[in-house]
Structure 1
Amino acid sequence: MKRQNVLGAVFVTVFLDLLGFGMLFPLLPTYAADLGASATLVGLLIASYSAAQLVAAPVLGRASDRWGRGPIVAASALGAALGYAVLFLADAMTGLFVGRIITGLCAGNIAAAQATISDVTTPEERGRGMAVVGAAIGLGIIFGPALTALSVPLAGEKSPFAIAAVLALANAVWAARALPRTRGTSPRLLTTLGRAARHPALVLLLSVNFLVMVAFSQIESQLPLLTRHTMGFGPVENGYLFMYVGVVIVVFQLTGTRWLSSRLGDERLIVLGLGCFALGAALAPFVTTWWQVLLPAGLIGVGNATQAPSLMAAISKQAGADEQGAILGASQSLGSSGRIVGPVLGGALFAEVAPPAPYLAGGVAFAVIAAAFVVLDRRVT
């Protein structure tokens, strides 16, 4: 199969995967709350996906090395369809947890897609190939929430689960037919982290990635509950809000991030992104209208658009040429670990302290991470 055809197939696979995944952002927390879940239990529900993903990732990686990327992507999508179907049928929290864990166990498509690109591209072409994955993710996080906002009024609150299941089934058929059976060797996480520990600059960057993901997932997971508490938002309004954040991320990455990176450098751009995160999180609890919420949501979007790619670029530069893939994979695993801790912490703060607490704590956390990064970066570089 020609390289361009492979890249096109990967784009469709990742887009369909993120389209279904993104539909749940604005819906799942309030849907669970309507079933009687506290914010703490909502946090555990969100975290269960990342916990299952972290457990399954090494198994799926080794399976794709043995049987090829295409079959594993197809099988993962089929499993995700089952998970979404369970979510659709669930009428209690037990069912939601089962469905969420199934989808987490089958969340190997993006890693397999990235591995496919690594298999069919040279090191010089790899950045362009990974940009295809980034574009598909960006479109998914825009159109997924938008699809929820459009479908709920037309077909009911449970309709996004059914649509996500159909999208996952379509993805399974597509991957089975279009993705090649390329094979490779997936790096082992503990071995990679052991090598990274010998480089202080890498330790700092990987630590920042973990802590940022804790703080970010803490505020992201509770956003639908906060907007319901402060403005009475439901899945429709939250769908448009998440779509707006996605648009900000994609547009700023396409226009502002590259321009700023060439003038400020990755390290300063990381700090700038953390500052936007801190300000957006601190302002979020105090907005009471649609127009007001656009400012903190926009700041959070700009923070994501600047901090995330700059941090990945800095990690890639610190890793040796033969270790970049392994180190970036380890970074993603640490990010998944942060997505376990963050929602649990955010839910507990929301329920046990006050609804604004996850955001005020998140704002302080982002500021502290930024200050610590500035100080420690000077010492290790």
Structure 2
Amino acid sequence: MNRNFWITALVAFINSLSLTILIPIIYLYGKQFGLSDFQTSLLFSIYSISQFFATPVIGKLSDRFGRKPLLIISLAGTVIANAIAGTATTATWLFFARFLDGITGGNASVAQAIISDVTTPENRAKAFGINGAAFGLGFVLGPVTSLLAQQFSLGAAFLVSGAIAFLALLITIFFLPETLQTKAAKANNLFDLGLGNLIRGLAIPKIGILLIINFFIGTTFTIFTYAFQPYFIQVLGQNSQSLTLVFILFGALGTIMQTWGVSILSRKFNIVSILFLALFIRSLSFIIMPIWHNIIYFVVVSIVYSLFNSLVQPMINTLISLNAKSQEQGTAMGLNASYLSISNGVGPVIAGMLINQSYPQTYSYPLYLAGTLTFLVLCFAVLTRKNYTPSEIRV
């Protein structure tokens, strides 16, 4: 891996750290402004929905004008948005900040396009694994940093997040060169900038089917992530401190798997086989997690889950990258990030409809559903594998 790759991985780590600082506090911060539960949920959805529409545009523009300027704009948007949120005096400003962060939030897809630019096809799975590990490491340190920032105020967590994003911005400006070698043609209209690609992207050979698969993967995953916390606290009788430790465990094991695990498995199995294995373990884990309401049992299942779950996105990203033309890497990664963003809005709604606080047994229902749907996604991926498997990989 060359210097530009490691700089990009560092930016990915700092970006994930900035993001995960906010995860534990958005709901409580919204409550400080007198928002209802439904209004607070919109703070999550407005970010995901605006990101859904923005990321393909940012990806397309990165193919036209280069990776560096679009990464700079995206990171600057996060810095400004978090500064506004951290100093907001009304809910209107808070909603505007979440919208701004979402509409400029294409830095992950641009970083993935940079990795595609600077790595060879045979090293791409390993590169995306390392990038995923860098992102996962942020999920380990982000909640810890958030707890420290909250000692001052919830708004301070937004300001710390913005300061960390500003560090990533400086690294990008001064140390990351432009990596795009061949620029795409100039867009003729708004839809050429990527909005039309949200629909047309589904028809791109080999890419469209991967976007569909990853949308359903993301939806089933967010069903789990929404239901996981209330199940852990309400059913297993745990507290916020032990929940934080589980998040740290998830992040640490994911980081290990995405660095050494991907490298080891790639020597023995092809990318598609690793994806199938990871989806199977994820599906099985979701289904057996709520069978026995015991914390030790839950942690053991979670360890197995977190190891293999961390393989899913690096394999999907690698397949998309290998199937996309060099001048369309940003577009493809932007589309992928876009459909993942909208899945982040769909999954929690589905899970929330299944949970009834008056009936504790309902906290298990989304976990069973997530496992069943993940298995169906795996079956679909297996049946359609010839439609997205690169020619150099045997199926």
TM-score bracket, shorter-length normalisation: 0.7 to 0.9
- Residue aligned with 1:180, SS: coil
> How far apart in 2 are the matches of 1:359 and 1:280?
9
Q: TM-score, with normalisation over the residues of structure 1?
A: 0.79
Which residue number in structure 2 is paired with residue 357 of structure 1?
365
CA contact (8 A) 1:280 1:300 kept: yes
Which protein is richer in helix relative to its size?
Answer: 1
Residue by residue over 1:282-302, the C-alpha shift from the partner in whole angstroms, topping out at 9 and shown as x without a partner, is 345567675444234324313
Q: TM-score, with normalisation over the residues of structure 2?
A: 0.76
User: Is 1:346 aligned to residue 351 of structure 2?
Assistant: yes
Moved more, 344-353 or 210-219: 344-353
Which residue number in structure 1 is paired with residue 257 of structure 2?
252
59 and 370 in structure 1: CA distance in 2 versus 1, 3 angstrom threshold:
closer
Partner residue of 2:315 out of 310, 335, 350: 310
Which residue number in structure 1 is paired with residue 17 of structure 2?
19
Which amino acid is 2:17 matched to?
L
- Report % sequence identity: 24
Which residue number in structure 1 is paired with residue 392 of structure 2?
none
> How far apart in 1 are the matches of 2:137 and 2:114?
20
Which amino acid is 1:277 matched to?
R
Residue by residue over 1:12-59, the C-alpha shift from the partner in whole angstroms, topping out at 9 and shown as x without a partner, is 322211111122233334655786643x65554323222111222244
CA RMSD of aligned residues (A): 3.9
Partner residue of 1:162 out of 159, 163, 175: 159
Which residue number in structure 2 is paired with residue 369 of structure 1?
377
CA contact (8 A) 1:281 1:360 kept: yes
> How far apart in 2 are the matches of 1:355 and 1:277?
18
> How far apart in 1 are the matches of 2:318 and 2:68?
28
Partner residue of 1:337 out of 342, 350, 355: 342
Moved more, 131-140 or 59-68: 59-68
CA contact (8 A) 2:55 2:337 kept: no
Report deviation, 1:379.
9.7
* Unmatched segments (≥5 aa) in structure 2: 186-192, 389-394
Partner residue of 2:68 out of 53, 67, 70: 70
Report deviation, 1:112.
2.5
Partner residue of 1:180 out of 177, 186, 196: 177
> How far apart in 2 are the matches of 1:215 and 1:336?
13
Which residue number in structure 1 is paired with residue 203 of structure 2?
197
Moved more, 281-290 or 214-223: 281-290
284 and 23 in structure 1: CA distance in 2 versus 1, 3 angstrom threshold:
farther
- Residue aligned with 2:363, SS: coil
> How far apart in 1 are the matches of 2:263 and 2:123?
18
Which residue number in structure 1 is paired with residue 224 of structure 2?
219
CA contact (8 A) 2:56 2:197 kept: no
User: Is 1:241 aligned to residue 250 of structure 2?
Assistant: no
CA contact (8 A) 1:210 1:335 kept: yes
Which amino acid is 2:369 matched to?
A
Which amino acid is 2:141 matched to?
F
Aligned residues: 374
Report deviation, 1:321.
5.8
* Unmatched segments (≥5 aa) in structure 1: none
